[in-house]
């Protein structure tokens, strides 16, 4: 018979959730305050809640266009990065290739370069290709950032799959690609899905490349778009917090819809072979 958790556990859990949710809670409470209360001092709640900041955030800048651009860029990045990373991770972990550790080490080393160190050659490449102010102009550098980490994460999941399944497929005449598509990839689907979510969020939150490559306002993504909410003498914190709440909703919805798959992917690596 299971022992029920006591009151201290639930108190600790409530405090933990409060600490985790505090930044978003504070942003939301600020977004419904009148501007005069935002700058008046520290107050948790307002006596005159208003949605004027949300209206201003939508009318001042093309916020929904920023959101659409981020969705398009992040989705393209995720699909391409996961497709390439899955094949690369399978080749390194499951096929008889020499120097596997060296290859993975080089891949990891590529992920260690700071963005500021590679932004100049990436910018020149994108400009020479004529891809500035376009989706692919951001997808290409985002793939260079996310691909090494995606390969490492997927390699961990592929290693956990028993090799006996692959040997049985070979005995049945399956090619390496058929083995990957029909056996390995479906079994590693939770890990692949979790890696895809991580790549999507990383692309959604990226700022430096988005600021440098897409200078046209119609091609800007959410992080850069939020930085455009400013005037000559002050920062409209009401508009900024309202816009922050609106752009956070898509990520929250995605996580809530697919939370079971995400948890399954995070815990699948703990299963014994």
* Dihedral pair phi/psi, residue 74, rounded to 5°: -65, -40
pLDDT per residue of the chain (273 residues) written in tens, 0 to 9: 455 656 777 788 888 888 888 888 888 888 888 877 777 666 777 778 888 888 888 888 898 999 999 999 999 999 999 999 988 888 888 777 777 777 777 877 777 777 788 888 889 999 999 889 999 999 999 998 888 888 888 888 888 878 777 778 777 777 777 887 888 778 888 788 888 888 998 899 899 999 999 988 899 999 998 888 876 667 788 888 888 888 888 777 777 776 666 665 555 544 444
- pTM for the whole thing? 0.81
pLDDT of residue 236: 81
pLDDT of residue 273: 43
CA-wise closest residue to 203 among 257, 265, 135 = 135
41: left (phi over 0), alpha (psi -120 to 50) or beta: left
Reported CATH class of domain 61-270: mainly alpha
- What does the alpha-carbon distance between residue 187 and residue 182 come to, in Å, rounded to a whole number? 9
Total Cβ atoms within 10 A of residue 55: 12
Helix then strand then coil, in percent of the chain rounded to 5, is 75, 0, 25
CA-wise closest residue to 184 among 198, 195, 174 = 174
SS3 6: coil
Contact assessment for residue 54 and residue 242, using Cβ atoms and an 8 Å cutoff: yes
pLDDT of residue 268: 54
- What does the alpha-carbon distance between residue 222 and residue 253 come to, in Å, rounded to a whole number? 16
């Amino acid at each position: 018979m299971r022992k029920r958790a006591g009151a201290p556990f639930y108190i600790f859990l409530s405090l933990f959730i409060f600490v985790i949710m505090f930044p978003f809670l504070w942003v939301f409470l600020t977004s419904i305050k009148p501007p005069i209360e935002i700058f008046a001092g520290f107050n948790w709640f307002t006596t005159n809640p208003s949605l004027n900041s949300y209206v201003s955030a939508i009318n001042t800048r093309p916020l929904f266009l920023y959101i659409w651009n981020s969705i398009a860029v992040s989705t393209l990045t995720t699909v391409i990065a996961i497709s390439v990373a899955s094949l690369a991770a399978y080749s390194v972990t499951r096929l008889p290739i020499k120097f596997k550790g060296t290859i993975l080490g080089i891949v990891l080393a590529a992920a260690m370069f700071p963005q500021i160190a590679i932004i100049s050659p990436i910018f020149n490449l994108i400009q020479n290709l004529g891809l500035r102010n376009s989706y692919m102009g951001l997808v290409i550098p985002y793939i260079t950032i996310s691909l090494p980490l995606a390969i490492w994460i997927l390699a961990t999941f592929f290693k956990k799959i028993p090799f006996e399944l692959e040997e049985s497929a070979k005995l049945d005449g399956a090619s390496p690609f058929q083995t990957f598509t029909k056996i390995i990839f479906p079994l590693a689907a939770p890990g692949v899905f979790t890696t895809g979510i991580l790549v999507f969020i990383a692309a959604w939150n990226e700022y430096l490349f988005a600021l440098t490559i897409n200078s046209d306002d119609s091609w800007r993504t959410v992080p850069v778009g939020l930085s455009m909410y400013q005037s000559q003498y002050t920062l409209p914190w009401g508009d900024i917090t309202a816009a922050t709440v609106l752009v956070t909703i898509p990520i929250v919805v995605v996580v809530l819809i697919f939370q079971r798959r995400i948890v399954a992917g995070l815990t699948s690596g703990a299963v014994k072979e």
